Structure 1
């Protein structure tokens, strides 16, 4: 299949991105040579609410397109008809900013045993930024779209693929009209090339694959994208109907024109036979202490364990921290900014003594769904949902907490030998 061929140019792109981001990211292993992938270089990235652009992960399959911003436009097609220049998008509609925790649907893939897929992410493919742009609802309503009425919005990227293939993703029109934007700024700066310049779709709380970069077409349809559903040559549906779907090994999932349930976890529980990756599952990561170096402590000292937790379209209700490898758990405090679709900060004051410790965090969303402990073996599939995340052939949507443990060494600050 053309969409799965190795891509030599990814190495040059990665080198340029790592240099631009000044050491805030590092390359992630992709032995199949298909994707440009860099992730946060340090665990400490996950101790802060806002992720600097320099530390924000990057993932895309095709080459970054050559951009002439003055000539770039976004076509409106399907059940609407129009064409928007970048000036139209910026000046003719309201400007808003949304906070969004972007997470690659393959985050945690490298924690599967046996390994699956090509990009071996740990937990480094997640970040929160402010995105500035134009509400999709403002655009579509001007063109006569008032009700979602079971429809879908398909976004098509202008990144060059093999032959005439396209990168196309569909989301329910109801989500698009609710909170999605066409973004042209990131953290108050012009959108960087690797993050979708000149314009990308932002789908708050949903996995990165839905946040199409380099948008050149928005198509209102009665269905998700399926093969031959676009007015163009090439393959249309691979990234919607084949890739980024969860299933056991050796399964070739059938295409669906529509599904009733888009909540990713509800799909896993049986609402959809082979689930699509839409909203992110509940997840947490400890940012500090990072385990990179020993931490000195005195008798009465406490150590702040700090991190981030997120739950896609849902809210984080609770975060627990364990300092003994999961034997016991204590509630952490949620604090800081609280935006729909963005992560929360958590902290736990740890009365610690010198020694070696394994720290874990687990989050629970407002529907009572808690991070599972581990990733299952390949044969478990949905039987794993009790306290395991189902191993799936693509390695998608993993949110187990044990693989994200951090080992910390605490030294007695009053012991002279600890400084040697």
Structure 2
């Protein structure tokens, strides 16, 4: 374990050197370190530079290159070894805009505190991911089903534990890609080099890095459904599910809906974190400077997973009044929108807030609830406190205070 922690420390230091626009966040209990955007300025722009994009993983980064890497595709009757180099040469290449957000983004805003990395709002970024559509690979391999599940397995798996995530085949065929490029550059090591799955609009845990296997299955991965050593259902059936403290989620083969918010509203036990909930962040001003009075542009980003961010409101007086912001800039499914609002600022201290609504009418709640409220918190304009601190999207914790000078 000591050697693993030392290796992890060296790895994180190297990532920070490559990413000057990030800073580290620690989970002191597990000695688990990640990096996220260092400044709100990241969220004042549509495209997130690789140098500012968050990174989250637990095991050491696997090594490999495009020429030697292969992906095993299994459908229950056969296994095919697909060479990554052949996929790149023979199958079409596309670019997909995707806002990738860690499902634990906002975990540090829970009170009482939950376990693991205490993210604020820094674990999110939008990039152009270049790769091959999963649909093209499946079709070429003769996989024609749409009502099953696709389980992705990462090469960072160990003999003790497999990192596996399952998504519906319908989603995989719709817009997912096997990505080997990011923002016009080869995929960086920490982002999954040489290939990762990218699932647009869904939480980052679904976009399995260092992809080594794809398995077509009748349901989601559960203990006993993979012929592999150790455990292999933790990351699907235990972690990354929204539930009360000390609750042990039941392992399900399927769900009625992959909408994270829809699962919360339905009262489903321990919802899964699939698509991202509606969210917004102000990126300008940053709160790190002291603007002078006059017209100040408030600018930020808003997103809503599989849905579209349809409206953003801004408050400059700590929520006493709200004003509609303008949505502008690139408009891609699965990626955030820029918003702006011109504010006639007077001298003094001001608290700025933003709240977004999606096309189904879901609006960011004001705060995170208490453990006692459970899912009833949604009825009181609160996001449900949950043991893993997942999918939080309350707007007030992401507000900022600015000092305007005359």
Which range is displaced more, 226-235 or 187-196? 226-235
Partner of 2:133: 135
| Equivalences for residues 320-335 of structure 1 within 5 A | 320-335=313-328
Equivalent of 2:242 in 246, 260, 266: 246
* CA distance in 1: counterparts of 2:277 and 2:32, whole angstroms: 23
C-alpha distance in 2 between matches for 1:332 and 1:128: 20
Shift of 1:117: 1.5
Deviation at 1:269, TM superposition (A): 1.1
TM-score by length of 2: 0.97
Cα displacement (A) at 1:8: 4.6
**Equivalent residue for 2:215?**
219
Distance change in 2, residues 1:110/1:332 (3 Å): same
Counterpart contact for 2:110–2:385, Cα < 8 Å: yes
Does 2:299 correspond to 1:295? no
Looking at structure 2, the residues matched to 160 and 244 of structure 1 have their Cα atoms a distance apart, in angstroms, of 17
Does 99-108 or 31-40 show the bigger shift? 31-40
Give the total of aligned pairs: 403
- Residue 417 of structure 1 corresponds to none
- Is the 1:359–1:406 Cα contact (8 Å) retained in structure 2? yes
* Rounded Cα–Cα distance in structure 2 between residues aligned with 1:105 and 1:399: 10
Matches within 5 A, 1:18-417: 18-21=16-19, 23-79=20-76, 81-149=79-147, 151-161=148-158, 163-270=159-266, 272-297=268-293, 301-386=294-379, 387-412=381-406
Task: Determine the C-alpha separation between the residues in 2 that align with 1:337 and 1:252.
Answer: 42
Q: SS at 2:26's partner residue?
A: coil
- In 1, are the aligned partners of 2:314 and 2:325 still within 8 Å (CA)? yes
How far apart are the structure 2 equivalents of 1:281 and 1:94? Answer: 31
Separation in structure 2 between the aligned mates of residue 217 and residue 200 of structure 1, nearest angstrom: 11
**1:7 offset after TM fit, Å?**
4.4
Q: Deviations over 1:344-370 (max 9, x none)?
A: 000000011111100000000000000
Cα separation, 1, equivalents of 2:188 and 2:30: 23
Structure 2 CA distance, aligned partners of 1:58 and 1:34?
16
CA positional deviation for 1:160: 4.3
C-alpha change, 1:52 and 1:126, in structure 2 (3 Å) is: same
Q: In the aligned structure 2, how far is the partner of 1:7 from the partner of 1:120?
A: 19
Shift of 1:144: 1.8
| Unmatched 5+ stretches in structure 1 | 413-420
Distance 2:129 2:241 in 1: 27
Name structure 2 gaps, 5 residues minimum: none
Q: Contact 2:348/2:404 (CA < 8 Å) preserved in 1?
A: yes
Q: 1:403/1:172 Cα in 2 relative to 1: closer, same or farther (>3 Å)?
A: same
**Superposed CA RMSD:** 1.5
Q: TM-score, normalised by structure 1?
A: 0.94
CA contact (8 A) 1:7 1:33 kept: no
Match of 1:268, SS state, is helix
